[in-house]
Structure 1
Amino acid sequence: MMRLRPPRPDARGPLLSLAAGALIVAALIWGPSAYGVVTAGGRIDPELRAATGPRDVTVRLTFRAEVFHVRELSRYGIFAGSPSDGVVHLARVPPPNLTALAQVYWVDAIEPRG
């Protein structure tokens, strides 16, 4: 007489769920930064790409800058004012910081000031 084996549970189901969950978490953590890096070239004015020394810039946002945003932007240069919603002026931003600033995903545009 042939004995039937009980069915083996499929171990791939839980592993696939775990992998999908890990992928979603990774996308949530690193997605905004990756988006910022990929789209940075379109945010910075061509005149600023060739900067050799510190520059005064206008940072344009698509929203009103809050205290958090001003603090974050101040990491790249000296805060020089926010004359209207969606505009922040930074002074003496060195070239490496211009590149890093362009990679901030919530920055819309970086233009030379004055």
Structure 2
Amino acid sequence: MPPKSSLPRRAAKSPTLRKIAVLIAIVLAYQIWLSVQAQGKVGPGVGAARDDRGRFPVDVELGFAPERYHILRLQMHGRIAGTDGHVVHLRGVAPAGVDELARWYWIKHIEAPKSES
């Protein structure tokens, strides 16, 4: 009777499980990259002018003119107050919304508005 190999050894030899492990590693690496690059996107002064509900206005800079998709996604975190070229003005954004926005790869920068409108 041949010796039985252990479960981890058989799993390591399985091509399907190796592919799943590689896929999980890629997804984890992408999530780590999103978290690291999000740290430098939020400018100073964001969240300084909070209202009584703890929400505040932000200006979201994109690397391109926003399209309908981007506007709809941004509306999930605040009210659209207008656009200027590549900048979308959001009002009523929560701190958790800023954290979520900073993780989106297509957002270049998030700043406090220069003047209240």
Q: Given residue 70 of structure 2, which amino acid in structure 1 is its aligned partner?
A: H
RMSD (CA atoms): 2.6
Kept in 1, the 8 Å contact 2:47–2:112? The answer is: no
Which has a greater percent of helix? 1
Kept in 1, the 8 Å contact 2:43–2:109? The answer is: yes
Residues 1-114 of structure 1 correspond to what in structure 2 (within 5 A)?
A: 15=14, 17-26=15-24, 32-48=30-46, 53-84=54-85, 86-113=86-113, 114=115
Distance in 2 (CA, whole Å) between partners of 1:92 and 1:57 is 8
Please report the TM-score for the alignment, with normalisation by the length of structure 2.
Answer: 0.67
Q: Given residue 67 of structure 1, which amino acid in structure 2 is its aligned partner?
A: R
Structure 1: which 5+ residue stretches go unaligned? 1-10
Structure 2: which 5+ residue stretches go unaligned? 1-9
Please report the TM-score for the alignment, with normalisation by the length of structure 1.
Answer: 0.69
**Which structure has the larger Rg?**
1
Higher RCO, Cα 8 Å, sep 6+: 1
4+ aligned runs moved over 6 Å, structure 1: 11-14
Q: How many residues align?
A: 102
Q: CA offsets per residue over residues 29-80 of structure 1, 9 Å max, x none? A: 5555432222211000122266753211110111221111111111111111
